[in-house]
Every structure is written in C-alpha cells, then in structure tokens.
Amino acid sequence: MNRRLNYLAMIFLILMWGCAGAIQPRSVPLSAISDTPETLTGQGNSACTDDNTNADTGDFDEEFQQTDSDGEIQVALDEALTYCRSAQSFWQKGDIDNALEALDQAYALLLNVNDIENPKLMRQKEDLRFMISKRILEIYASRNISVKGKHDAIPLTINKYVKKELARFSKSKFFRDAYKRSGKYRPFIVEELKKNGLPVELSWLPLIESGFNVHALSGARALGLWQFIPSTGYKFGLNRDRYIDERMNPRKSTKAAIAYLKELHQIFGDWTTVLAAYNCGEGRVLKVIRSQQVNYLDNFWDLYEKLPGETACYVPRFLATLHIVSHPEKYGLDKLEVSSPQPYEEVSVSKQVSLKDVAKAIGVCADDLKALNPELRQKIVPPGKYTLRIPVGKSATLLAELGKIPVSHTSEPVYRAKAKSRKPVFVYHRIKRGDTLSQIAKRYHTTSKKIRRVNKIYKRDYLVAGNILKIPQKNVRNASKSSKSSRTGHRGISTHVVKKGDSLWNIARKYGISTRDLHRVNKLRGNRLSIGQVLKIPKNRKIAKSSSARRLKTYRVKNGDVPVEIARRYNMSLKRFLYVNRLTPRSKIYPGQRLYVE
C-alpha cells in the first residue's frame, strides 16, 4: 500500500519530464498495445514522446549488457523490465489488479537502485520510471470506461426494456417489410462479418437503422443501410460528390460500418455499449461514462439509464430484433417471402450516360439497373472511369451498344434556374428569453403546431434561448408579387416580404401609411423585423379615394430628384404631392423609392 502512494510521485516525475501537457488519462485499446514496452516509451499510441527514449526492447537489452562493474544494477533493471512485460500481459487478459501489482513491483525495484554513475544505466532507469508511470495512468483511465462482461458475443438479454420493444416491434409493418428486404443484403453482410471476426448477429443492425432500405434518409442527414452521416462516412472511406454517394452503396457502406464497429469495440470492449455508441456517437457515451466518479459499469444497463432517449430505445430494439428473428415461427416470419440477392456483373464505363438509356440499350428494366447502382445520385454514370453493375449476361450487349448511347448531362443547371425564381418558404427566428411557441406563431401568422413539426420539437413549448427556429410561411411567392405591385386583396390589405435593409419606417413610407398602422395590423410588439417575414400592408383609404378620382400612378425616384421638381414635372402643387405621399417639407426621398404622382 505504501508503494501505491508513490504513484503521485511518479506523476510528478512525468511533470518534471515536460510531458504533463500531452499525457491525459485516456483509454487505450488493448489490441493497439504490443508485448514490448514500445507504447510506453512514446513510440506507439502515446501523445507524448521523448527524443532520449529508446525505440524498442532491443535497445534496452543491448544497453543492459554493458559492463560487469554495473552488474547488480543491470540485474535489477532487467527484473523491472520483466515485471513491466508481465503487467502488459495481465492487462491484455483483463486482469487489471495483477497488472498493477506487477508495475508496483517494478517500481519498487527502481527505488532500490541508487548511486548510478553510468549515464546509460541512469537513462535506462529514467526510461523505465517513465514507462511504469505512464502505464499506471493508462490502466486507471481504462478502468473508468471499460465494461465488464463477455466481449466476444452479444448478450441476448430479456428485461423490461426489451420486452417493451418486443411488444411494439414484432407486430409492426415496418419490421415485416424490412425483414422481407433483408435477404437482398444479409448474405454479403454475414460473409463480411465472419471475415472480420465479428458476431453475425450484427447483420440485423440495418433493420433498425434503415429497414434495409439503401435510400433511407434521417432527419440528421444519415443515409443508407447503415445510416452514416457525411462526416463519419468520409472518415471510413465513403465518398460523396455531385454524382455519387457511397453511403447508398450496400457493399462499401457495409465494409465501412464493420470498420467503425471494430473501432468502437476496441474502445469499449462490450457489444451493447458499442451499439449505443454507434447510435449516438462514441463521444457521447464516453462523456456519460467519464462523468461518473466510480467504476460502476458492471453491466450495460447501468449506463443505459444515462443515455439519450433515442439510444435508450435503440439497444433494446436491436435485442428484441434478435429475439424475433431467432423465433420465426412464433412471430410468423416463416410465412413471409424474403427477397434474394440480385446477381450482376460489372462493366467498366468511361462515358457519361443515364441509367435509363443504358437499360433501354441492353433490354432490361430501368428500375433493376437503378437497384444495382443505388449510389448514383442522379441516375447518371459520372464522368471518368466507373464500374457499372448490370444484370448477368448483358455485358457484351452493353459494350457493343455503348457507342450508340447518347451522352447525358445532369439536370442541376435547370434546377438552379428554377430555384432562383422561387421565393423562400421559411423565415428564421432567433429565440429570446421569455419567447413561447404561441407568441412566435402569432407574430408570424402561423400555428405553433406547424412550427413544432418543421423544427421537430416533440415537447410542447420546449424552447432554448439563442436557438434558431424555421418558421413556415404561406403563399410567400404570391405575397412578394402583391408587394411589388401594391395590389390589395378583397379586404383592402396587401403584403410585403421583408428584405435586407428594410425597416418599419421605410416600409410605412413606401406604402404611404404610418408605422402605427403596421404595428396594429401585424400585431407587432417592437420594431425588429426578420428577412423573409411577411407583413400585412393596410390600404391608405385617403390615397385610394384620391387615386380613384385622379388616377394616381407611381414614380421611381432617381438620383438628384427633389419633391419640388417631381411635383412640377407632373403638374402637381407641392402641397398636393406631399399630401398624397404622406410627406412633410422636411422629408427626404431616396433613389429607388416609389412615390405617387398624377
């Protein structure tokens, strides 16, 4: 126990070596640590390195055999190194207590080695001291994020959480449809899992991720069988550009998912925890685990209580899926017709052609060709060399007809041209302290139900100050037209879409009304406006009456215009001109402003 108190002293030594800023308590996957002290000397996964540290065990062995005069010291250092290797072996087997005991013995040997005159032996001692200190930090850090239990299998637990998902999931249409589609992809997934030594039960994970639908897209922009978000997809080699998105490629995304699952298993060592991390991210799970001050993770269901609500359903739902597919007769799955993989052959194509034209040229159904190449976003072969999958027996036909197939181009330019003519469907509102959904909905002339649906707010009146809400707007396109032409509806009200630089005062001047009228009609509390906001514009009855009698028309102010000259140009008195436009002698006019003239 007294020697254990020296751990603080060892950490102080690390600070003296100048590495305290780089070494942090963290988890190191056991598979990443070799039987030699390479990792401990800063040459492996460590964030802290030292130029004076030897690269491998061979360097230590060579230096330990120097002179007979330092024989006793050499024996002690050799024995300490042996203890370090034993600690490494114990840790890899999960025996943390014996690993710490071995490191304790190694450190005790170093404390007994004093009065070293040989500089090489002194350096070896300090290297060993550093290695022991660092390994102790890593073992204690790993104890806070490891989960005890079987690490090579998925436990088929049946508890209240799993039973709840069983009752809900077993009778759902989603589950049955997904089960039918599973036959198209599971054989390849199972084969890849076996190659990588992972449990074949993981082949059912796409059922709850995407329903075995390669085109499934979540609200978080996760796409494909395995529901990769773009950043995670890039990390594991799934490319995405204007033409392709490999997250929808079942084979490539399966290999990426397996790589991700293996990485998570190296971190957590327990498959139920891995599943939770796959759903909500390893960072979130590590944060939950590290927030605990004790090593309480004797089983996953303690961690389960601390996870987000979505993940709280995810793991039990997967375990319920395994239970259902393990008893097909009980749940009526044996009566379902399961799809089978579609055979295909590959042809290298270097011409930008559409799948529709290719299908017509080789005499197959276009939908079958699209199903074989789901990663093609626009159903067009990208420029450059591309491996196209086609039904078996059609490769010769394609190569013969490829020269006759016309070059196809994407429809993106047409889409952009149309998009420019469209007005925004939403306006945006930054939530302030005290805001409620009903107040925001009233301000933007919509309903709180629509705002909740667009922003996916499931808790009533749950708002966070500083967040931005998308506010759906009705007939924005028509409103903009009416604001330009200043035409009024049957109730004498037109609308105006707020643009950059608009203010209540400018808008009121533009339409010949007062800011008080705008506040009253639009039920505004202050003067702040949002770009894209639709304002109701009440009709100026005095102007309307005079315009019907005198047939007023509009005039756009130009540079250098002044009210007197405009009035003289249209044979109006200055008083009349100011009255019609709700101006005063001190009012200023601006280029581009529209004014009424006779």
Q: Are 247 and 320 within one domain?
A: yes
Q: Are 547 and 584 within one domain?
A: yes
- Residue positions counted in the chain: 598
Q: Are 139 and 12 within one domain?
A: yes
Q: Are 130 and 8 within one domain?
A: yes
- How do residues 499-546 score in pLDDT, each as one tens digit? 877 888 778 877 778 888 888 888 887 777 877 788 888 866 554 444
**Whole-Å CA distances, 140 to 22, 26, 102, 136:** 17, 9, 14, 6
Task: State the total domains in the chain.
Answer: 4
pLDDT at 142 over 60: no
- How do residues 429-444 score in pLDDT, each as one tens digit? 878 877 888 888 887 8
Residue 228's pLDDT is what? Answer: 92
Final residue of a structural domain among 415, 449, 475: 415
pLDDT band at 225 (very low <50, low <70, confident <90, very high): very high
Q: Are 166 and 313 within one domain?
A: yes
Q: Are 330 and 360 within one domain?
A: no
Tell me the CATH number at 256.
1.10.530.10
Q: Is residue 594 part of a domain?
A: yes
- How do residues 394-409 score in pLDDT, each as one tens digit? 999 999 988 888 888 7
- Of the candidate ranges 324-333, 340-349, 355-364, 474-483, the one whose mean pLDDT is the lowest: 474-483
Q: Is residue 80 part of a domain?
A: yes
Nearest of 471, 461, 469 to residue 436 by alpha carbon: 461
pLDDT at 159 over 70: yes
Mean pLDDT of the chain: 75
Domain containing 133 equals 4-143
Q: Are 372 and 406 within one domain?
A: yes
What percent of the chain is modeled with pLDDT above 70? 74
Q: Are 177 and 290 within one domain?
A: yes
DSSP string, 419-483: HHHSPPSEEEEE--TT--HHHHHHHTTS-HHHHHHHHT--STT---TT-EEEEE-SSHHHHHHHH
d(CA 331, CA 27): 42
pLDDT at 285 over 60: yes
What is the average per-residue pLDDT within 266-273?
81
Q: Are 86 and 214 within one domain?
A: no
- How do residues 310-323 score in pLDDT, each as one tens digit? 777 888 899 999 99
Name the pairing type of β-strands 594-597 and 553-556. antiparallel
Sign, CA dihedral 246-252-258-262, equals negative
Burial profile 402-439: b = 16 or more Cβ within 10 angstroms, e = fewer: beebeebebeeeeeeeeeeeeeeeebebebeeebebee
**How many degrees, rounded to 5, is the angle at CA 491 between CA 485 and CA 496?**
35
Nearest of 576, 580, 583 to residue 554 by alpha carbon: 580
With beta carbons less than 8 A apart as the criterion, state whether 248 and 238 touch. no
- Secondary structure letter of residue 373 according to DSSP: -
Q: Are 115 and 164 within one domain?
A: no
Residues with catalytic annotation? 209
Region of residue 234 (phi > 0: left; psi between -120 and 50: alpha; otherwise: beta): alpha
Q: Is residue 500 part of a domain?
A: no
- How do residues 101-127 score in pLDDT, each as one tens digit? 888 888 888 888 877 778 888 888 888
Nearest of 271, 272, 281 to residue 304 by alpha carbon: 272
Q: Is residue 423 part of a domain?
A: no
- Of the candidate ranges 351-360, 456-465, 558-567, the one whose mean pLDDT is the lowest: 456-465
Q: Is residue 456 part of a domain?
A: no
DSSP string, 60-118: HHHHTTS-GGGHHHHHHHHHHHHHHHHHHHHHHTT-HHHHHHHHHHHHHHHHH------
Q: Is residue 502 part of a domain?
A: no
d(CA 435, CA 417): 38
Q: Is residue 372 part of a domain?
A: yes
Final residue of a structural domain among 383, 415, 447: 415
Q: Are 175 and 304 within one domain?
A: yes
Residue 107: exposure state from Cβ atoms within 10 A (0-12, 13-18, ≥19)? buried
Q: Are 368 and 301 within one domain?
A: no
Final residue of a structural domain among 415, 444, 472: 415
- Of the candidate ranges 183-197, 330-344, 570-584, the one whose mean pLDDT is the lowest: 570-584
